[in-house]
């Protein structure tokens, strides 16, 4: 059964032109030979790092499992989402993000889980794992787990896009469209979560189920909190200090990857020290990745004036910490014109302060912690790929 035609059709379902970025997804002629001694020119460009890493794990991480893609429910969803084309419902944007390449590589989590599985090597407790399939040094249950991680991330991404009907404005379009969009968003998210739960059950390991379920619990809390504290354009945000920011970010970004990495180790029956190192790598790598994406509006050469940024992002929170609340409120006031926030002006103000540089430092701090966690893994190309991911994420020049 060829998957390629299905994948190529996806963008058209969602009203997006063009095929998915990686045309060679299902190419059978992938070069699977390992690349020794290529560390002399370690790639730090993001796309390059990712594509090298994908070769190491044997095939690119897929968008969704085959079972998902071939289900009736998904074609139902696709059909329903098409009805949303032309409306303002956020689900449409979320879905378009799946088929367009973005810097926030949606497959990153899955890829990291696969890499760390490979880096940790085979189970030392041979008896329990000898029946497992192994492809490119990774057990099939670990591959499954990588997929499940992506499913959970995607499910919450979809659920984040649900709209509060009581807060709609006329610019959002007809109520009916938003209600319908919400309905489809809830069902699609639930569909993905249900697949994740079933996938977890199939792993036949209750410790892993508990671990990943707790990661879901963390993620839900994180999304809930970001929902509560996100400032609307004209409102001043609640003051959150950097330690609160760190807690939030662990919930929204760190927990899922950290616990999935740990779970991958558990599946191969690695001991608790290895599990803990995997957890640490996942956690710190995810946090530094988040800081990196928070920094983008402040370090890009050309930013359009209308580009907004999150007032609860790392550089802004740090900027606040240095200034103190009162001065920050004053600066926001100065950046307001006719009741609307002038993001370009505020951006310059922040860049002039210490927020950006300290965010870069924080990013590198977490990056170093991630690298430190990797030291306990034996050297291998998988480990190098994980290191390269950290280098790419902490590179700001």
Partner 1 sequence: HPHKPDAQGGTCVWSSFAVDRGPGMTILSIYIPYFNLVKNLTSAFPNVHSISQFHQKAPAVCCCSKAQSGQKYADPFKLGWRDLKGLYEDIRKELFISTTDLKEMAEYYFDGKGKALRPIIVVLMARACNIHYNNSRDMQASQRSVALVAEMIHTASLVHDDVIDDASSRRGKHTANKLWGEKKAVLAGDLILSAASMLLARIGNIAVTTILSQVIEDLVRGEFLQLGSKENENERIAHYLEKTFNKTASLIANSCKAVSVLGCPDPVVHEIAYQYGKNVGIAFQLIDDVLDFTSCSDQMGKPTSADLKLGLATGPVLFACQQFPEMNAMIMRRFSLPGDVDRARQYVSESDGVQQTTYLAQQYCHEAVRQISKLRPSPERDALIQLSEIVLTRDK
Residue in this structure with the two tokens 């002629």, named with its chain if needed: 29
To which residue do tokens 């059964």 refer?
1
| Radius of gyration in angstroms for the set of CA atoms belonging to the chain, rounded to a whole number | 22
Binding mask 144-163 for partner 1 (x = CB under 8 A): ------------x--xx-xx
Q: Which of 34, 48, 204, 243 binds partner 1 (CB under 8 A)?
A: 204
Which x/- pattern over 157-196 shows residues binding partner 1 (rule: CB under 8 A)? --xx-xxxxxx-----------x--xx--xx-xxx-xxx-
* CA atoms of 64 and 147, how far apart (whole Å): 7
Contact 162/182 with Cβ under 8 angstroms?
yes
80 binds partner 1 (CB under 8 A): yes
Question: Both tokens of residue 302?
Answer: 């050309």
Nearer to partner 1, 279 or 281 (CB): 279
Expressed in angstroms, the distance from the first to the final Cα of the chain is: 46
- The C-alpha atoms of residue 233 and residue 78 are separated, in whole angstroms, by 32
- Secondary structure class of 341 (helix, strand, coil): strand
Q: CA torsion sign, 381 to 386 to 387 to 392? A: positive
**Could you say which of 130, 140, 198, 234 contacts partner 1 (CB under 8 A)?**
198
Instruction: Decide whether 8 or 186 has the Cβ nearer to partner 1.
Output: 186
Burial class (CB within 10 angstroms; exposed 0-12, middle 13-18, buried 19+) of 127: exposed
- The nearer residue to partner 1, 31 or 167, going by C-beta atoms, is 167
CA distance 208 to 225: 26
Q: How far is the CB of 187 from partner 1 (least distance, A)?
A: 6
Q: How far is the CB of 210 from partner 1 (least distance, A)?
A: 4
Give the pair of three-digit tokens for residue 185: 């968003």
Site for partner 1 in 209-268 (CB under 8 A): 209-210, 213-214, 216-217, 220-221, 223-225, 227-228
Closest CB to partner 1 among residues 210, 334 = 210
> What CA–CA distance (Å, rounded) separates 122 from 325?
52
Q: Judged by CB under 8 A, does residue 116 bind partner 1?
A: no
* Interface residue with partner 1, options 58, 73, 173, 303 (CB under 8 A): 73
Q: Distances from the Cα of 35 to the Cαs of 32, 53, 100, 331, 396, in angstroms?
A: 9, 11, 29, 52, 27
Whichever of 114 and 258 has its CB closer to partner 1, that residue is: 258
Asked if residue 200 binds partner 1 (CB under 8 A), the reply is yes
Smallest distance from partner 1 to CB 351, Å? 33
Number of residues that bind partner 1 (CB under 8 A): 46
Positions touching partner 1 (CB under 8 A) are 72-73, 76, 80, 156, 159-160, 162-167, 179, 182-183, 186-187, 189-191, 193-195, 197-198, 200-202, 204-207, 209-210, 213-214, 216-217, 220-221, 223-225, 227-228
């Amino acid at each position: 059964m060829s998957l390629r035609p299905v994948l190529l059709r996806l963008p058209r379902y969602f009203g997006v032109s063009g095929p998915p970025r990686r045309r060679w997804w299902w190419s059978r002629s992938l070069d699977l030979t390992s690349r020794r001694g290529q560390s002399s020119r370690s790639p730090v460009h993001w796309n390059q790092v990712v594509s090298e890493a994908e070769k190491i794990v044997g095939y690119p991480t897929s968008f969704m499992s085959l079972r998902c893609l071939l289900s009736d429910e998904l074609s139902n969803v696709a059909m329903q989402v098409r009805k949303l084309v032309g409306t303002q419902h956020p689900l449409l944007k979320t879905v378009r993000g799946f088929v367009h390449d973005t810097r926030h590589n949606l497959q990153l989590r899955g890829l990291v889980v696969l890499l760390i599985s490979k880096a940790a090597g085979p189970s030392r407790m041979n008896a329990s794992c000898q029946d497992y399939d192994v492809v490119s040094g990774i057990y099939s249950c670990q591959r499954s787990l990588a997929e499940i991680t992506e499913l959970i991330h995607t499910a919450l991404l979809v659920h984040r896009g649900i709209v509060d009907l009581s807060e709609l404005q006329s610019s959002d379009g007809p109520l009916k469209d938003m209600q319908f969009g919400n309905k489809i968003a809830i069902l699609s998210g639930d569909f993905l979560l249900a697949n994740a739960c079933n996938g977890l059950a199939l792993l036949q390991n209750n410790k892993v189920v508990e671990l990943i379920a707790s990661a879901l619990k963390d993620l839900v809390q994180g999304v809930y909190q970001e929902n509560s504290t996100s400032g609307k354009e004209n409102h001043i945000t609640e003051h959150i200090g950097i330690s609160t920011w760190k807690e939030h970010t662990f919930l929204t970004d760190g927990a899922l990857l950290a616990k999935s990495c740990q779970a991958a180790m558990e599946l191969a029956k690695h001991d608790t020290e290895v599990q803990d190192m995997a957890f640490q790598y996942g956690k710190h790598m995810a946090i530094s990745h988040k800081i990196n994406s928070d920094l983008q509006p402040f370090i890009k050469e050309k930013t359009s004036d209308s580009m907004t940024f999150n007032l609860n992002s790392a550089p802004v929170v740090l900027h606040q910490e240095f200034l103190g609340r009162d001065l920050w409120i004053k600066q926001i006031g100065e950046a307001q014109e006719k009741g609307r926030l002038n993001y370009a002006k505020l951006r310059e103000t922040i860049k002039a302060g210490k927020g950006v540089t300290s965010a870069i430092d924080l990013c590198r701090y977490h990056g170093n912690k991630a690298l430190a966690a990797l030291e306990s893994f034996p050297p291998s190309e998988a480990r190098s790929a994980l290191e390269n991911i950290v280098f790419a994420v902490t590179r700001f020049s």
